[in-house]
Structures are given as structure tokens and as C-alpha cells.
Amino acid sequence: MKAKTILIVYALVLSAFCITGCHQNQSKGSVAEIDSSVNKKLENLFSNYWEEYLKLFPFRATFYGDNRYNDQFHNDQTQSYRDTLKNFYQSYLDSAKTFDRSKLTDENKTNYDVFVYEMNRQLDGLKLNTWMIPFDQINGGAISLPLGNTMFPFKTVKDYDNWLSRLNKFPAWADSAIGNFRKGMAAGVVLPKALVIKMIPEMQNLVVTDPTKSLFYQPVTHLPKDFSAADSQRLVNDYRQVVLNVIIPTYKKLGDFLKNEYLPKTRTTSGLSAIPGGDKMYAYDVKSWTTTDETPEQFYQTGLEQVAIITHEMDSVMTATGFKGDLKAFFHFMNTDKRFFPFKTPQQVLDSFEMIHKIVDAHVNKLFDIIPKTPFVIRQVEKFRENTVGVPQYQPGAPDGSRPGVFYVPIPDASKFNATPMDDYFLHEAIPGHHYQISLQQEDTSLPKFRRFGRYGVYVEGYAFYCESLGRDLGLYKDPYQYFASLTWQMHRAIRLVVDAGIHAKGMTREQAIKYMMDHEAVTEPVATAEIERYMAMPGQALTYMTGRLKILELRNKHEKELGNKFSIIKFHHELLSGGSMPLQILEKRMNEWAEKIKSGK
């Protein structure tokens, strides 16, 4: 999950203090102290917050299936917008603090804790100067805008006009973004050169000579049949004009700026610690993504420990295959032997994933008793971005089912697509990973909307990574090479701890990180490069996978031991998923309370 259409910002020490303090007081009092009027007021606060939030973030409203603001393009690059956000979050934090938490229901205590955490993390994020880097090769308005074609409803004439209105506001955003880039250049807060080199062709690829070949023209190539001839002709003309007069000039301006003005000012260093204020930025990123108080050094050491453990297991599997040589030679074998590259066309790759889908569906009810209603499809990544998407990824569907969850597969060259990690890709990104967790959360109308659509990376990615451990129970990992590929992905997440903290806190270079990754797992240089550059663009995000997985496995092992024959993996997964995404402190408390109820026979 990479795109910043799902951008998450997290809080720091103040929010952690609140959660700890609030939880210590939760056991005080009795059910009799619950005040229905207080709970109703709190729920109204949540509802009002969400209504204002959607107005401030119209792209996210569209993404969540709320079409009221589809004609809007919020210019998040302006100081006035950032000031508005600061006042917005502070006012709701102040309002939340007026509530007596002891009078809330158990559900609303959890909602309250997450809400306060959310307000604090947003406010802490606004204190940083990350606005001086408006977008990169993966995230930001210029990158996510083309994805609008897949998120917009495009069912009525008004839908088509709304998209036109949004596109016409893009130049103002781009001009502000360029202005912020320039302020970053003056302050020394700039992107690494290696990332900007990837951004330039992304902008250039959206500048076409034939407007009908533009991604932004595509919506009118399949207009609904019930549109009148006059409306259809007008829309075709309007879309042609917006491509010619808005899209092409704006992306050309962005590309020219990046190439001619910004690139010469970029840095040769790789991590945040090399720029002014970078240490604080990374400390925030670590805290916000992982929801823990661990330091970069602690994550680095955990990564080294996990690399050693997984390396030992890899050695065992390699030996069992009868391979003669060391692990590095085995990595080369896994990356080059023809048996692992059976595909000739992209469709064959997609068909193979469909087969995995069928196998998992046949076994999933052994572990899960809640299934999302949101449809699910497998698609190839669009050509314009396939070279910057290293591995398959998931794009959530609309909560009402009008847009399916999509498992996107990058296939620049089918003959070079390795089949061995496909089981892991599917378990993590699709079923029972991201598609299950995100869809179930969005579909749960008992949650306040800020929680239905809120995501904590350490929970979301930690859960999806945990799902990879379920492969054998779900009919996958049939041979040692597939299992070794699974170990490779475990190694990949352990390496992420080392290189993310290494790059941003310990001076590790891009090249050193790429080499470290290739020395410890069966990964090609292009994939390793795309991954490392992703961590450079999204500091801290790479820490979430292993951190969340280790916590979930810790909780599962703990409760299996405590509950004995009362433990049910189906019920464990039900509880794990039914509460939605939350910080790890709150998740651990929830799961402990669940186990206590089972022990007491409730």
C-alpha cells in the first residue's frame, strides 16, 4: 500500500501519554456510571469532526465513496490551508478533553483514545517542515491525480463535470507545489537526487502529443449509453480541451521545473538526518508509523537480530533442497533459474494469481468467520507507473461496494516475473491480508467514520505481514522453493528495519542499502533499488511490517498459552479484525480483555 491517497500522519509523546493515562483509569468505576447523554455528545463530536474532515480533504471523500465534494481540489500546499488544519485539529482536541472518559461505554473509551491520539499526531505533524517537499516519486497530488480515473464514479453527466472541475484546479496546486519546492531549496530541505531522477519521467510520461492518448481522456472513451448525444459530444470536447490546456501544460511545467531547476539543487545523501530538522522529522515518522516509543537504534538492532534468525532458517531450507553452495549462490539460483520464470505474457501472470485466489478461498473458512462484502479483482498496474511499483500492491474498494478492492500487479516484462513469491504477494496484499482487513473495517458501520476509514500503518501492514504466516493453513507453500520465498519476504521485512533506520538515522547510503538487501535475500537489483528508494521517500513506513507482525504473533502465542483448549484461532482473528485499525497499545489492551472474558467464561 504506497499511494498517499491513503496518507497517514501520526502523533508523538503527548498522545502516548494520553493513551497510557486513560487506560490506567479505564478499570475504575462500574457500568452504572455510564452516562448515555455524554456518550451521545461524544458520538456527535465524532460525526461533526468527520463532516468537517471530508470538506477539508475532498480527494479522500471521493476515495471513501462520498461524492459531495467531487468537484473540489484542495490546495494543501498553502500556508493558509495548513493554518486551517492546525485550528481544526486543535479545536476538536480541546472539545474531546472536556469529556469525562469514565462515563463512556467500553466501545467509546476505545474510540475516545484513538480520537485523542489522532488529533495529537496530526498537530505534531504540522509542526514539521515536510511541506517543503510537496511530492516524490510515489506520493503526492501530482502522482495520485491520474489514479482518479479508477476512483471516480463516472456514472452521470454531473460526475464527468465534477472531474473536469477538479482537473481545472490542478494548475493552482502545481504552482503552489513548485513554490514550496523552491522554499525547500533555499532552506536545504530537498529530496535525494536519485528520487528526482525517477520523478522527471513520471511527469514527462503524462505529456502526450495526442490528447486522446492521455489517461485523463480515457473516461470519455466509454461514456454511458444513456447520455444524450449533445451531452456526450460536449464531454468529449471538454475532456479534449482540459487535456490540451490544463493537464499537458501543467505536467510539462512540473517536469521542466524538476529537471532544470530542482535537480541541480538535490542532494547526494540518502536519509533525513542529512537535512535541516531531519532528525526531528525522522523521530516523528518512527513514532507515527509504529505507534511505539522505540528509538531508531532499537529498530536497527531488532532488524539485525531478525536477519540472523531468518538466515539460519534459510540455510536449513536450502540444505533440504539439496542445493550445493552458499545462500548468496542460492539467491542467484532463485533469481535466474528458468523454472521460476514460467510466464510469457502478463495475462499468464494474472491467471496464476487467480489460481492462488481459488486455493485460498477454498481454505479461508478454517481460519476466518468474517468475510468482506466488498468485491475483489486482480489487475495489471498501469503502464505509466509500472516501473516505480516494485511489487504488487492493494488499492481499497469503496465502502458501498461500488468500486472493488484491486490487487495491482506490476508486469513490465512477464518473462522476468518470478513465480516463487506469488503466494506471499497474494496473502499480504489480497486475501486474507489487506483486502480483508481494510474492507471489513470500512464496512463496519458500528465504528465512527473517523475509525472506519482511519488506518495505522503498524496495524495494517503488521496484520498483512502476519497473514503470510498462514500460508500453509491456506493451501499454499507447497514446495520448499515457495517456502523459501516466504522466508525471503520475512527477511525482506527484517532488512527494512535495518535499512530504514540505517538510511535515515545512521548515515547508510542508497547504494549501501541496496547492497545490504541483495546480500541477504533473493532479490534482483531493480527490485531492491525500487524498494530502497521507496524507504527514502517514505521514512518510517518500512518499520511497520515487522513491528506489527511481531506484536500480533506475541499476542497470539500469549493467548494460546493462557487459554489452552479454550483458544480458537477463528475467534482470535475475529477479535483482531473486528475492532478496526488502532495503535498497538490499544490493540494489546483490547486483545487482553478479550482473553480475560474467555477465561472467565463470559
Average pLDDT, the chain: 92
Q: Is the pLDDT reported for residue 8 higher than 70? A: no
Q: With cut-offs at 50, 70 and 90, classify the pLDDT of residue 300.
A: very high
With a CB cutoff of 8 Å and minimum separation 6, the contacts of 554 are none
Return the exposure string of 48-71: e unless at least 16 CB atoms fall within 10 Å of the residue's CB, then b.
Answer: ebbeebbebbbbbbbbbbbbebbb
Are 395 and 3 contacting, i.e. CB atoms less than 8 angstroms apart?
yes
CA–CA separation, 499 vs 160, rounded Å? 44
Write down the pLDDT at residue 19: 33
- CB 338: neighbour CB atoms within 10 A? 7
Higher pLDDT, 14 or 89: 89
Q: With cut-offs at 50, 70 and 90, classify the pLDDT of residue 1.
A: very low
Coil, strand, or helix at residue 592? helix
Nearest to 72 by CA among 152, 140, 180: 152
Q: With cut-offs at 50, 70 and 90, classify the pLDDT of residue 2.
A: very low
Q: What is the dihedral of CA 560, 563, 565, 567, to 10 degrees?
A: -60
CA atoms within 13 A on the CB side of 568: 12
CA–CA separation, 477 vs 509, rounded Å? 35
Higher pLDDT, 162 or 29: 162
With a CB cutoff of 8 Å and minimum separation 6, the contacts of 86 are 123, 126
Write down the pLDDT at residue 12: 29
Write down the pLDDT at residue 49: 98
Nearest to 86 by CA among 131, 43, 42, 44: 131
What phi and psi values does residue 76 have, to the nearest 5 degrees? Answer: -80, 10
Coil, strand, or helix at residue 305? helix
How big is the chain, counted in residues? Answer: 602
The predicted model gives 152-175 an average pLDDT of 97
Least confident of 58-67, 221-230, 319-328, 489-498: 58-67
Q: With cut-offs at 50, 70 and 90, classify the pLDDT of residue 74.
A: very high
CA–CA separation, 283 vs 127, rounded Å? 13
The predicted model gives 33-43 an average pLDDT of 95
Write down the pLDDT at residue 268: 96
- Residue 125 to residues 1, 8, 374, Cα–Cα distance (Å): 21, 10, 32
Q: Is the pLDDT reported for residue 31 higher than 70? A: no
- CB 97: neighbour CB atoms within 10 A? 11
Express as a percent the part of the chain with pLDDT over 70: 94
CA–CA separation, 138 vs 537, rounded Å? 7
Q: Is the pLDDT reported for residue 18 higher than 60? A: no
Q: With cut-offs at 50, 70 and 90, classify the pLDDT of residue 147.
A: confident
Nearest to 271 by CA among 526, 3, 535: 535
Write down the pLDDT at residue 524: 82
CA atoms within 13 A on the CB side of 255: 16
CA–CA separation, 42 vs 48, rounded Å? 10
Higher pLDDT, 382 or 247: 247
- State the amino acid at position 7 in one-letter form: L
Express as a percent the part of the chain with pLDDT over 90: 87
Q: Is the pLDDT reported for residue 386 higher than 80? A: no
Would you list the DSSP string of 449-464? HHHHS---HHHHHHHH
Q: Give the DSSP H/E element, type plus range, for residue 576.
A: helix 569-578
Higher pLDDT, 601 or 187: 187
Residue 192 per-residue DSSP state: B
Least confident of 9-13, 429-433, 440-444: 9-13
Q: Is the pLDDT reported for residue 5 higher than 50? A: no
The predicted model gives 498-524 an average pLDDT of 94
Write down the pLDDT at residue 523: 81
Q: Give the DSSP H/E element, type plus range, for residue 406.
A: strand 405-409
Least confident of 4-8, 37-41, 213-217, 244-248: 4-8
The predicted model gives 576-601 an average pLDDT of 93
Write down the pLDDT at residue 382: 83
Are 439 and 373 contacting, i.e. CB atoms less than 8 angstroms apart?
yes
Q: With cut-offs at 50, 70 and 90, classify the pLDDT of residue 390.
A: confident
CA atoms within 13 A on the CB side of 98: 9
CA–CA separation, 25 vs 430, rounded Å? 39
CA–CA separation, 33 vs 403, rounded Å? 43
Q: Is the pLDDT reported for residue 10 higher than 70? A: no
The predicted model gives 417-424 an average pLDDT of 94
Q: Give 112-123 pLDDT, tens digit per residue.
A: 999 999 999 999
CA–CA separation, 576 vs 329, rounded Å? 40
Q: Is the pLDDT reported for residue 400 higher than 90? A: no
What are residue 380's DSSP bridge partners?
Answer: 409
Write down the pLDDT at residue 151: 82
The predicted model gives 322-326 an average pLDDT of 94
